[in-house]
Chain A
């Protein structure tokens, strides 16, 4: 896990790369990689690479980046983890490759040498990397299937720049800071900036599951090698395989396999534990896989004491049951207020979420952990969000014109009034369900002209439509694809990245795993929401009733109380919080 940067002056009129710029970009990411850092500049000064390293696998200096292959032809900066690197290495060694370190980074280099761009099809993990191939004078850039690890790029037609964070790219001092109305509009609509947009016109996010080359003509051959919708679509046609094995047994096999891969580490791996099924079952399976329970961490807030949303007591009870070394960490309003400047500094792009991950990561880091597993992704995988029930109902209602019109007239809720307008399609219904504000609200929030331009370029409904192509075939599959490709990617995963990396903690998400989704998709298509109960049964000691019978609650923090946010028509007062967040980007 690291922060990476790359510069490539590919244009004929481009200036040579600037050593100070790559250093400034890299230095801005120091918290992401406190253990080591370095830069590399090509002899002709057309390419520069930089990295900060959080050492997790092969803690020796051999793992330092930027890394060069044994022949001195390939150079890489890599952020993330390749969980199947040992299998890949064994294959490459069998084919004659030689290695000088025990790192997954070096495996990427040799894999590129062997398989070229097709290498991404073989990777299991979370990653963003850039490989400079001095033979072909091309840079190969790739990002993982789900978009767990971030990568941002700026391309002015002469020089290509890439870095793990938007703020690091800006720190290089060569990129214009003009706001992008599409990114701003996206934030107001969704509470996070939808990729590929950012808050700045000159910076784009590399889209999840894509890879491309940058040559002397600039960016070329962008290939989308993975999509959640395609994996679910294929699952529909593979049901025979899902029906062979008892669901909880198959889940146990496949998720344990994912966990075994996610536990690969040369430092101890801890876990976030809530009172929910996903984190608890993961901790139980991790205990079986590792032979001992991981150290676990839960947050507690005085404001939630005695309420359903207080997960601390049940989490502690389960931790006692499995014998984990557990910490319940109290977070107070004063601590939050004191952390706010640091939190906003670490927040790479505006978002209404991430405070929860900030504090649980802080608590894990305080315990000396560098790696923690999280149950993130379980709700998207097993259909636990209300949207899985609400979207089909919304669409059904919207397609009855009289019902939709009546609901709109009778309700003062602006979303209810918009059902007839948006609710007839999956993408429209999703915007209604997940939207923070509606497009009609944007002129007031960002000005008429900016809103018009932003909405036009953002094309939010089209982007949502793409997330369910090819059609996953069932309502369950469509909502799963929408949630995983939009909310989880643009909000949960991105927030987890900045909020954990600010504390030099690597969060691993065994339920957000492209290999697992491919393998499990047929079962999901057959069992749908029942998979959650199967998952609770999957450990050798099934989860206790006090966890499985508990009504689901989100992983929330008492922001409304801490910030004394004014009522805004939402239960968590997230619209008010969004205004506070956006002030930081003014």
Chain B
């Protein structure tokens, strides 16, 4: 069996979708009936991670729009399954297959696409694989899609994380010694003011003075949030880390006593899995995909992100529990092995009647 993966980024990519695609490609390639997975990346921004066996990674596809178009055309049509790993690429995926399998993640699929043609193409897809129920519901809500679908939530490689001794350098760099630490990690950009940074900042003045808040990430909204912290009188208790490298990420999570992200725009919320894999308890949102990352409350607390009272109380409950850090057993649900098994089932079901 041959599979074509048409996606925005994967190997050599940065961010949540790239990571998801790398895992998806690896899981597809490990299917016993799959002989080859041809991957056409739209962009490559960094050094390539090792590409799994059976994967043909076509780097020249990322050289520009025309190159990408040529790569898709040149890939031919002899594939048993064409995976369109971003809804914006549906028109291009159509060049390779009449009925591609669409993968959707979050906000990119929550509203109609800009061009009507792409919206119409949704009627012809073979099926939809969604990272979460909420993304699938919101997608079906506007598109009226009623065809086959499958859920494939993120996976977490626990071996990359774990409960670690405090990284003293990192702790000193951010002045967190002796503090109780709240953390949110994500892009800090004005166009994405739904991550929950503002909400946590709003409750910080009502919490004990030894509680600090680490905003981990970079973006053009940092300045506004710094001003806000000053106006709330908590500037000394808020740490802005700037861009976090992959190498330091696990150590950074390990500095936190609680990961809090009362967001409204997460399709899933992989960061919750990362924090949990470091033994850090989490507070997630009831109003977006975060609730599925914490399995509707089994792995972490859920709050209404519009309620400062709930956020405050959840923080107090977690910090006051006195429990030692531990990695919840339920996190196994998101293991790569389970992700791989789900991916294989999806491949089997969407190729059975092709």
Question: Interface extent on B, as a size class?
Answer: 20 to 34
Does A240 contact B309, Cβ atoms closer than 8 Å?
no
Does B313 contact A519, Cβ atoms closer than 8 Å?
no
**Which residues of B in the span 133-147 have a Cβ within 8 Å of any Cβ on A?**
137-138, 141-142
Does B313 contact A240, Cβ atoms closer than 8 Å?
no
Q: How far is the CA of A121 from the CA of B203 in the complex (A)?
A: 13
Does B110 contact A240, Cβ atoms closer than 8 Å?
no
Contact digits for B165-185, partner A, Cβ 8 Å, 1 yes 0 no = 000000000000000000000
Query: Which partner residue on chain A sits nearest B264 by CB separation?
Result: A241
Does B194 contact A121, Cβ atoms closer than 8 Å?
no
Does B141 contact A515, Cβ atoms closer than 8 Å?
no
Does B141 contact A248, Cβ atoms closer than 8 Å?
yes
Interface residue? A118 (CB, 8 A): yes
Contacts of B264 in A (CB 8 A): 241, 244
Interface residue? A461 (CB, 8 A): no
Interface residue? A115 (CB, 8 A): yes
Contacts of A240 in B (CB 8 A): 191-194
Chain A nearest CB, measured from B72 CB (Å)? 29
Does B307 contact A249, Cβ atoms closer than 8 Å?
no
Q: How far is the CA of A248 from the CA of B110 in the complex (A)?
A: 12
Interface residue? A61 (CB, 8 A): no
**Which residues of B in the span 284-307 have a Cβ within 8 Å of any Cβ on A?**
287, 297, 304, 306-307
Q: How far is the CA of A253 from the CA of B136 in the complex (A)?
A: 13
- Given the known inter-chain contacts A240-B193, A244-B264, A246-B112, please indicate yes or no for A515 contacting B138, CB distance below 8 A: no
Chain B nearest CB, measured from A512 CB (Å)? 17
Q: How far is the CA of A432 from the CA of B47 in the complex (A)?
A: 69
Interface residue? A252 (CB, 8 A): yes
8 Å CB contact of A245 from B138, B191, B308: B138
Does A122 contact B310, Cβ atoms closer than 8 Å?
yes
Does A244 contact B309, Cβ atoms closer than 8 Å?
no
- Given the known inter-chain contacts A241-B194, A249-B142, please indicate yes or no for A121 contacting B308, CB distance below 8 A: yes
Does B138 contact A518, Cβ atoms closer than 8 Å?
no
Chain A nearest CB, measured from B122 CB (Å)? 14
Q: How far is the CA of A303 from the CA of B161 in the complex (A)?
A: 74
Q: Give the A interface residue count (CB, 8 A).
A: 21
**Which residues of B in the span 266-323 have a Cβ within 8 Å of any Cβ on A?**
287, 297, 304, 306-310, 312-313, 317
Q: How far is the CA of A241 from the CA of B195 in the complex (A)?
A: 9
Q: How far is the CA of A188 from the CA of B312 in the complex (A)?
A: 44
Chain A nearest CB, measured from B306 CB (Å)? 4
Does B307 contact A246, Cβ atoms closer than 8 Å?
no
Interface residue? B111 (CB, 8 A): yes
Interface residue? B107 (CB, 8 A): yes
Q: How far is the CA of A208 from the CA of B264 in the complex (A)?
A: 29
Which of A240, A245, A253 has the most chain B CB atoms closer than 10 A to its own CB? A245
Interface residue? A91 (CB, 8 A): yes
Does B309 contact A118, Cβ atoms closer than 8 Å?
yes
Does B287 contact A519, Cβ atoms closer than 8 Å?
yes
Chain A nearest CB, measured from B114 CB (Å)? 14
Chain A nearest CB, measured from B215 CB (Å)? 17
8 Å CB contact of A241 from B111, B112, B138, B265: B265
Interface residue? A95 (CB, 8 A): yes
Contacts of B317 in A (CB 8 A): 91, 95
Contacts of B111 in A (CB 8 A): 244-246
Which of B193, B264, B312 has the most chain A CB atoms closer than 10 A to its own CB? B264
Contact digits for A221-265, partner B, Cβ 8 Å, 1 yes 0 no = 000000000000010001011001110110011000000000000
Query: Which partner residue on chain B sits nearest A538 by CB separation?
Result: B141
8 Å CB contact of A515 from B297, B304, B312: B304
Does B313 contact A249, Cβ atoms closer than 8 Å?
no
8 Å CB contact of A121 from B142, B192, B297, B309: B309
Contacts of B287 in A (CB 8 A): 519
Contacts of A249 in B (CB 8 A): 110, 137-138, 141-142
8 Å CB contact of A118 from B194, B297, B313: B313
**Which residues of B in the span 222-246 have a Cβ within 8 Å of any Cβ on A?**
none
Contacts of A519 in B (CB 8 A): 287, 304, 306
Query: Which partner residue on chain A sits nearest B288 by CB separation?
Result: A244
Q: How far is the CA of A252 from the CA of B306 in the complex (A)?
A: 18
Chain B nearest CB, measured from A173 CB (Å)? 40
Contacts of A90 in B (CB 8 A): 297
Query: Which partner residue on chain A sits nearest B314 by CB separation?
Result: A91
**Which residues of A in the span 506-545 have a Cβ within 8 Å of any Cβ on B?**
515, 518-519
Does B310 contact A246, Cβ atoms closer than 8 Å?
no
Does A246 contact B313, Cβ atoms closer than 8 Å?
no
Q: Contacts A118-B312, A122-B310, A241-B265 given; 10 further ones with Cβ under 8 A?
A: A118-B313, A121-B307, A121-B313, A122-B313, A240-B192, A244-B265, A246-B111, A246-B141, A249-B137, A249-B138
Instruction: Sample 13 A-B pairs with CB under 8 A, ordered by A number.
Output: A90-B297, A115-B313, A121-B307, A234-B306, A238-B193, A244-B265, A245-B111, A246-B111, A246-B112, A249-B110, A515-B307, A518-B306, A519-B306
Could you list which residues of chain A lie within 8 angstroms of chain B, going by C-beta atoms? 90-91, 95, 115, 118, 121-122, 234, 238, 240-241, 244-246, 248-249, 252-253, 515, 518-519
The 7 closest A-B CB pairs, nearest first, are A121-B309, A249-B141, A518-B306, A246-B142, A241-B264, A240-B193, A241-B194
Could you list which residues of chain B lie within 8 angstroms of chain A, going by C-beta atoms? 107, 110-112, 137-138, 141-142, 191-194, 264-265, 287, 297, 304, 306-310, 312-313, 317
